[in-house]
Amino acid sequence: MTDLIGRLSHPTPYLASVTYFADLTPYAYSHFDYDTVNHEWGTLDYRPRYERLNVGWLDASQPFDTGPVSDGFASALLDVIGNPSVNETRGLHSCEFCPQDANPIADPRPDGRPWLAFREIRVPARPGVMFAAPALIWHYVSAHAYRPPAEFVEAVRRYDAGWATEPSPWIPPDAEREVWNRSPINVMIPCGSCGQSFELHFTPVGPEHSAPSLANQQLRQQCPDHDGKEWEFWDKIR
């Protein structure tokens, strides 16, 4: 499941149109039966145990609802983009409503990624149901007057990015974790204090368990003279 063919952290620069799906229909965009959630520390890959409903998968050949949205909705939606990013893809999606020389659409956030349109978002709707939308939905709302379903607008208003932080009812216990795209490994390193070699095991489990902190913790358990110098361990796994 972690062999993510077609998904890269840094997409290649070709443009493709977003596939059209009517709002509130079952999600069917991905070629995979699982979702990949990107965190600062790595990725979570899992088969969702919740229903996913399409929102914002627009196409120039299909009509869509337009009109005003509630004050602050576009800003709130932009806060959702990349918080976290879901299903990052190979390549960039283009906006079919903009001239080609206006594509690809840039991410307007000062601290955002260069381009907006190579990922998706998830927004909890109600227990057991998630909205699934392309990140371009913010552009559709702000530039093309797209008006998403009222249920989605309300869900964005109460959005909590904690849905993707374990423990969470949205993340199943069999989710696979990759930290910096690395698998669990065992390494032998000498303690900087006593010189004795110890076997340390690095298992990607979350941002609070970085390589140096794991090495420190394990060496303290095995060597009372440990002085906290584990750079060899860090070099081997990063």
The per-residue pLDDT for 201 is 65
3-class SS at 120? strand
Angle at 48 between CA 42 and CA 51, to 5 degrees: 135
21 and 57 in contact (C-beta within 8 Å)? yes
pTM above 0.75, yes or no: no
For the chain (238 residues), the mean pLDDT of every run of 10, in chain order, is 38 57 88 81 88 94 94 93 84 83 78 76 97 94 96 97 90 82 59 69 53 62 63 45
The domain limits of the chain are 15-176, 182-237
Angle at 101 between CA 85 and CA 139, to 5 degrees: 35
Specify the DSSP element, H or E, that contains 125: strand 120-126
The per-residue pLDDT for 117 is 76
Token pair, residue 69, equals 């949205």
The per-residue pLDDT for 14 is 46
Angle between helices 73-80 and 137-144 (to 10 degrees): 160
